[in-house]
Amino acid sequence: MKLYSFLLENKTLKQTIFKNTFWLSFSEIIARFLKFILLIYVARILGATEYGRFSFALDLVAILIIFADLGTGTIITRELAKDLKKEKDYLHSLFSLRIFLTLFTLFLINLIAIFITPDIKVKRVIFLLSFYGIFSSFFDFANSFFRARQRMEYEAIGKILNSVFCVGLGFLFLQKIPSIITLSYAYLIGIFIATLSLFWILQKKFIPFGFKIDKIIWKEFLSLSWPLAFIAIFASVYHYMDTVMLGAWGFMKETGWYNAAYRIIDILIIPAILISLSFFPVTSKSFKIGEKEEKKKKIFLSQLSILTALAIPLIMGGVVLAPQIINFLYGREYRASILALQILIITAGIIYLSHPFYRTLIAANLQKTIFWITFSGALLNMILNFLLIPKYTLYGAAVATLISYFLVFLLYLIFLKKKTSLSPFNKKYHNILIVSLSASLLMIFLISQISVLIKLNIILLILIGAIFYSVCIFLFNKIFKLKLI
């Protein structure tokens, strides 16, 4: 009973933060892992070309569906967190706004689909996934109200329902009729069930449902949300545009190979997202007026040190083991994905290092700075994709992604140092770098020797490497009395 109360009720501030972090982390891990398993199955059973077609359609929808939200979801959460008395008016008015935005977005997606590809089958998949995107938008709309009430357990229920139905139906449909059309239906049904469930909970437990057109509220929210909309658009450009450009130029098999590698990166960056999110409330609090500068530095360096200690072995181990990872997950048809994965694993390491800077800039109320940094990354990514993809296909896309994320990381570092007192350039962080590099080199040497002597399963090899690396870090800390993390 105590556990039930602790995980499903808001009692104290600390308990509520822990409860919400637990549910969001748990659901995110479950959802990503289940979808990852499904997509590996899709890649194996349908082949690289069909997998590329589906990935192209899905990523195109992912970019354009931002127009169904325009950043209003985040503003709903922020404004309602300040004053829940307006909840009913906001739900009724903004639901009508969401309907108009989603209808426009539905039209936009299918209009672009006419011109972006001559492939009739892909156009049909885009049509089906456009409805998947629309329901996803309403799914996020409902979650913005749960977040305002700090009831993230309901968001977690929705995410898990979506992934369970999507993945379960995906396996079932693909066994009966192996096609990206049937896979699209699985995605659509999964999100429909999850969205319907969330709206039922919202109506039953919190707010009576209604529909109201209030142009004053529309104008108020759109005037507040447009910077967030642009940030989301720019971020989605350098996350999804490479796949869309590969597909638009007709490199469907290469798109499949590229996305086989990229889906692994989506799993690898989960720890970075969760660690930075768990630090964010403490980081935000440290920027309150009157807080000591030393406290900010300590929190920032703690987060950066942990993520650096994870990023370096990830990069070094990932590059070395990439051939075995691809072969284990996808088979020989995807050997072309190996180099792309090696490039993207370096990108994943940069994402790990970027998160502390990104979250700290938000905590310091420097959203405009983030806006221009994100814009710069998106612009560079598009230019590089135009230059590199026609000649180097998936490898050009991977290099464009790497360079774009590296630029964003450098800009985060420069502006954080310029606009705050925070900087990673100190003796303690240098020690972290040296120790992590040394331990990673020893780890690489060990797993290389093991691979020569014994043919081990890749999962077991990764586990041995991770344990050895952790022991090395512990021993370095003890022997040299560094007190690093």
3-state helix, strand and coil shares in percent for the chain, rounded to the nearest 5: 90, 0, 10
Query: What proportion of the chain, given as a percentage, has pLDDT over 70?
Result: 91
313, 465 contact by CB (below 8 A): yes
Question: Rounded to two decimals, what is the model's pTM?
Answer: 0.88
174, 42 contact by CB (below 8 A): yes
* Cβ partners under 8 Å of residue 448, min gap 6: 320
Report which listed range, 86-100, 218-232, 391-405, 438-452, is most confident.
Answer: 391-405
419, 295 contact by CB (below 8 A): no
Q: Distance between the two ends of the chain, CA-based, in angstroms?
A: 36
pLDDT value, residue 233: 83
307 has a pLDDT exceeding 70: yes
107 has a pLDDT exceeding 60: yes
SS (H, E, C) 116-127: HCCCHHHHHHHH
pLDDT value, residue 352: 94
Between the CA atoms of 146, 149, 154 and 156, what dihedral angle is there, to the nearest 10 degrees? 80
Ranking 8-22, 371-385, 411-425, 439-453 by mean pLDDT, the lowest is 8-22
Query: 273 burial class (0-12, 13-18, 19+ CB within 10 angstroms)?
Result: middle
Residue pLDDT, tens place only, 247-289: 999 999 999 999 999 999 989 998 888 888 777 767 777 776 5
485 has a pLDDT exceeding 60: no
Q: Which region, left, alpha or beta, applies to residue 456 given φ > 0 means left and ψ of -120 to 50 means alpha?
A: beta
Residue pLDDT, tens place only, 137-167: 999 888 887 877 777 788 888 999 999 999 9
Residue pLDDT, tens place only, 347-359: 999 999 998 888 8
More confident residue, 228 or 326: 326
61, 137 contact by CB (below 8 A): no
Up-side HSE of residue 314: CA atoms within 13 Å toward CB?
26
238 has a pLDDT exceeding 90: no
pLDDT value, residue 2: 66
Q: Which residue has the tokens 């390491």?
A: 349
Per-residue pLDDT band for 84 (boundaries 50, 70, 90) equals low
The domain limits of the chain are: 1-250
354 residue type, one letter: S
pLDDT value, residue 3: 62
Residue pLDDT, tens place only, 11-68: 665 666 676 677 777 888 899 899 999 999 999 999 999 999 999 999 999 999 988 8
Query: 308 burial class (0-12, 13-18, 19+ CB within 10 angstroms)?
Result: buried
